[in-house]
Amino acid sequence: MAVATDRLEAAVDAYLAHLAVERGSSPNTLRAYGNDLRRYIGYLRGTGVDDLAAAREADVSGFVVALRSGDAPLAASSAARALAAVRGLHRFAARDGLVTDDVSRAVTPPAAAKRLPRTLSVDEVEQLLAGCIGEGPTGLRDRALLELLYSTGARISEAVGIDVDDLDPSTRTVLLRGKGGKQRIVPVGRPALAAVDAWLVRGRPALAARSHGTPALLLNARGQRLSRQSAWHVLRGAAEVAGVRTEVSPHTLRHCFATHLLSGGADVRVVQELLGHASVATTQVYTHVNVDALREVYATAHPRARG
């Protein structure tokens, strides 16, 4: 058994040496991989496997299951990291002839739990929008940006990608360019149109004069197209000024757009089209956000709810 045990440890040591010398992995990476792989060979020994060449796909998948169960189960992300180390070991061993086949290649990492998107109430959105104050060019721009994000459900990258000619006030629509070059036309509410008009009349000309001209609707202080990073800073800054305590993200107003539409009775497939989702399954995550509201309605309306 001692010799066999040495084979498992020798394979791990050879792989770690490969990572250190040929791949230039950091000490922290080597330490993490080493811990995961020694946990793996401990699992193999516990199942009677004393040589990497004797391991099978079921052993690799069983290791992942063991990581996710027991008294101290690992999170999906930690189990996925351990599996990455194990797959790297088997791939290395197969390439170097230590084993005849890579039995780990078909084993997939556990799916991470989906987090519900953070949203704001309608009152909190109004509070956030009120955080954009001032009649200067940047204040008018910031208000136009946030109104557009909430009114259209656009991603920040889509909002900063809007050109002046993409907005059609007569039909109250805007052309958005989404992921993969896909385009969609979405409605724009009157408050957003009013904010954009104020920006176009009283704000944009002053900034546009600072550059050689750009078709972009939203401009930075140099007269160039506003970047995604700058737009994110605008959103975060408005939240701080308005005193919004809920954590905001670049997609916060997009999440609010979808959640508030569904709460108002919009069909999920209509919301899917407005968001530009390829699959309705992606949109359906928003149907789970209002669990508290549903529970409150149930508690007040169902005759057996208070039993």
Domain formed by 2-95, architecture: Orthogonal Bundle (1.10)
| pLDDT at site 265 | 86
Residues of the chain with CATH 1.10.150: 2-95
As a whole number of angstroms, the distance between CA 173 and CA 156 comes to 17
Instruction: Please report, in tens digits, the pLDDT of each residue of the chain (307 residues total).
Output: 334 447 899 999 999 999 999 888 889 999 999 999 999 999 999 999 989 999 999 999 999 999 988 778 888 888 999 999 999 999 999 999 989 999 999 998 887 666 666 788 899 999 999 877 777 999 999 999 999 999 999 999 999 999 999 999 999 999 999 887 889 999 999 999 999 999 999 999 999 999 888 999 999 999 999 999 999 999 999 998 888 888 888 899 999 999 999 888 888 899 999 999 888 888 877 776 555 566 666 777 777 766 5
| Bridge partners, residue 175, by sequence | 185
Diameter over CA atoms, the chain: 82
Give me the active site residues, please. 155, 179, 251, 254, 277, 286
Are the C-beta atoms of residues 83 and 89 closer than 8 Å to each other? Answer: no
Read off the tokens for 130. Answer: 């009120």
Please report how many Cα atoms fall inside a 13 Å half-sphere around the Cα of residue 291, on the Cβ side.
5
Q: Hey, what long-range contacts does 121-124 have (CB within 8 A, 24 or more apart)?
A: 122/260, 124/244, 124/246
| Bridge partners, residue 183, by sequence | 177
Q: How many Cβ atoms sit within 10 Å of the Cβ of residue 97?
A: 7
> Nearest-CA neighbor of 48 among 64, 37, 34, 59?
59
Residues of the chain with CATH 1.10.443.10: 122-297
Domain formed by 122-297, architecture: Orthogonal Bundle (1.10)
Give the C-alpha distances (Å, rounded to integers) separating 26 from 21, 82, 147, 212, 221. 10, 17, 45, 46, 41
| pLDDT at site 5 | 46
How far does the chain reach from its first CA to its final CA, in angstroms? 63
What global pTM score does this model have? 0.61
Segment (H or E) for 183: strand 183-187
